[in-house]
Amino acid sequence: MKVVTEKNFAYALSENMRIIAALVVRSAVTRFGESRMGFVWVLIEPVAYVSVYLLIHAWMRAGVPFGDSALLFFLTGIFGFRMTRGIARKTERAIISNQPMLTYPLVRPLDTIIATFLTESTIWLIICWLFMGGLSLMMDRSVIVYPADFAEGLLAILYFALSFATFNAMFSALVPRYDTFMNMLSMPLMLASGVFFVPTQLPPEFQAILWWNPFLHCVEWFRTSTYLDYNALLSKQYLLGVSTGLLVIALSVERIFRRKIVAS
Amino acid sequence: MKEEKTPVEAEAQPHVATGASSLLDIAKQRVKQRAEDKKVVALKRVPSRRAPDPDANDEEDLGARARTKTDIVKKIMTLPEMPKRKRKLPWTQISFGLVVVVPTILTALYFAFIASPQYVVETQFSVRGANQSSLSGLGIPALVGGGLQSGDSYIVADYIHSAQILPDIREQTGVDIRTVYSRPNIDFLYRENDTRSLDEFRDYWRDMVDVSFNSTTGNVTMRVFAFSPTDATQVSQSILSVSEHLVNTLSDKTRRQVVDVANQQVARSEERLRNIRKQMTELQINEQAVDPATVATMEATIISSLEQELASLRTRYKALVDSISSDAPSARVIERKISALEAQLIEQRNRLTGDVDQPADGKTTRSGTDTSSALPQMISRFSELGVEQEFAVKAYTASLAALEAAMQEAQKQERYFAVYVPPREPEVALYPFSLLNTGIVLLSSISLWVIGYFVFRSVKDHAI
Using a CB-CB cut-off of 8 Å, the residues of chain A touching B464 are 105-106
Residue A112 clears pLDDT 80, i.e. is over it: yes
Mean pLDDT of B392-413: 86
Q: How confident is the model at residue A2 (pLDDT cuts 50, 70, 90)?
A: very low
- Work out how many domains chain B is built from and give that number: 4
How far B51 CA lies from chain A's nearest CA (Å)?
30
Same domain, B289 and B393: yes
Domain shared by B207 and B228, yes or no? yes
- Chain B CA closest to residue A241: B444
Q: Which residues of A touch B439 (CB under 8 A)?
A: none
Q: What was the pLDDT predicted at A264? A: 65
Decide if A251 and B450 are in contact by the 8 Å CB cutoff.
yes
Q: Which domain holds residue B212?
A: 118-259+422-429
Cβ of B444 within 8 Å of Cβ of A244? The answer is: yes
- The pLDDT of residue A163 is 92
B416 domain residue, yes or no = no
Distances (CA, A) of B239 to A127, B13, B103, B219, B224: 46, 92, 37, 16, 10
Residue B388 near residue B191, CB atoms below 8 Å: no
In B79-130, alpha helices (H) = 81-96, 102-109
Q: Check CB contact under 8 Å for A201 and B84.
A: no
Are B127 and B238 within one domain? yes
Name the pairing type of β-strands B119-129 and B219-226. Answer: antiparallel
Phi–psi pair at B415, nearest 5 degrees:
-110, 135
Residues B255 and B137 in one domain: yes
Domain assignment present for B69: no
| Domain assignment present for B42 | yes
List pLDDT tens digits, range B301-324: 888 888 888 888 888 888 888 777
pLDDT digits (tens, 9 = 90+) for B229-268: 888 888 888 888 888 888 888 888 888 888 888 889 899 9
Is position B72 within any domain? no
In a domain, B71, yes or no: no
Residues B53 and B94 in one domain: no
Residues B111 and B169 grouped into a single domain: no
Per-residue pLDDT at A158 exceeds 90: yes
Nearest to A1 among B79, B146, B158 (CB): B79
B191 and B323 part of one domain: no
Residue B70 lies in a domain: no
What ipTM is given for this predicted complex? 0.80
Distance from C-alpha of A118 to C-alpha of A25, rounded to nearest angstrom: 10
CB contact under 8 A, B448 and A245: no
Are B122 and B156 in a shared domain?
yes
Is residue B165 predicted with pLDDT exceeding 50? Answer: yes
Cis amide leading into B432 (omega within 30): yes
Picking from B84, B145, B463, the nearest residue to A12 by CB comes out as: B463
Give CA–CA dist B24/B48, Å, rounded: 35
- Is the minimum CB–CB distance between A57 and chain B shorter than 8 Å? no
Question: What are the contacts of A41-49 at 24+ separation with CB within 8 A?
Answer: A42/A123, A42/A127, A43/A127, A43/A130, A45/A82, A46/A75, A46/A78, A46/A79, A46/A82, A46/A127, A46/A131, A49/A74, A49/A78, A49/A82
Same domain flag for B123 and B255 = yes
Residue A95 pLDDT > 60:
yes
User: How far is it, in rounded angstroms, from Cα B33 to Cα A49?
Assistant: 104
Contact yes or no for A201 and B215 at CB 8 A: yes
Tell me: do B122 and B255 sit in the same domain.
yes
pLDDT in tens, B122-145: 888 888 776 544 444 444 444 444
With beta carbons under 8 A apart, name residues in chain B contacting A108: 458, 461-462
Cβ-defined contact of A247 to B87 (cutoff 8 Å): no
- B240 three-class SS: helix
Same domain, B254 and B134: yes
CB contact residues (below 8 A), chain A span 7-36, against chain B: 8-9, 11-13, 15-16, 19
End-to-end, the C-alpha distance of chain B in Å comes to 59
Nearest-by-CA chain B residue for A19? B462
User: Residue B258: CA atoms inside 13 Å, Cβ hemisphere, count?
Assistant: 18
Tell me what the pLDDT averaged over chain B comes to: 76
Q: Is residue B297 part of a domain?
A: yes
Q: Identify the three-state secondary structure at position B429.
A: coil
From chain B, pick out residues whose CB is under 8 angstroms from the CB of A255: 454, 457
CA distances from B263 to A45, A87, B158, B275 (A): 59, 63, 33, 18
- Would you say residue A227 has pLDDT above 70? yes
Residues of chain B neighbouring A105 (CB-CB closer than 8 A): 464
Q: Please report whether residue B74 resides in a domain.
A: no
Same domain, B13 and B144: no
Compute the half-sphere exposure of residue A252: CA atoms within 13 Å on the CB side of its CA.
Answer: 11
**How far is B119 from B232, CA to CA, in rounded Å?**
7
DSSP for chain A, please give it.
-HHHHHHHHHHHHHHHHHHHHHHHHHHHHHHT-SSTHHHHHHHHHHHHHHHHHHHHHHHHTPPPSSSS-HHHHHHHHHHHHHHHHHHHHHHHTHHHHTGGGGGSTT--HHHHHHHHHHHHHHHHHHHHHHHHHHHHHHHTS-S-S-HHHHHHHHHHHHHHHHHHHHHHHHHHHHSTTHHHHHHHHHHHHHHTTTSSS-GGGS-HHHHHHHTT-HHHHHHHHHHHTT-TT------HHHHHHHHHHHHHHHHHHHHHTHHHHHH-
The pLDDT value recorded for residue A82 is 85
Q: Of B84, B145, B463, which is closest to A15 when you measure between CB atoms?
A: B463
CA distance linking residue B63 with residue B147, whole number of Å: 87
Q: In Å, how far is A196's CA from the nearest CA of chain B?
A: 12
pLDDT higher than threshold 70 for residue A229: yes
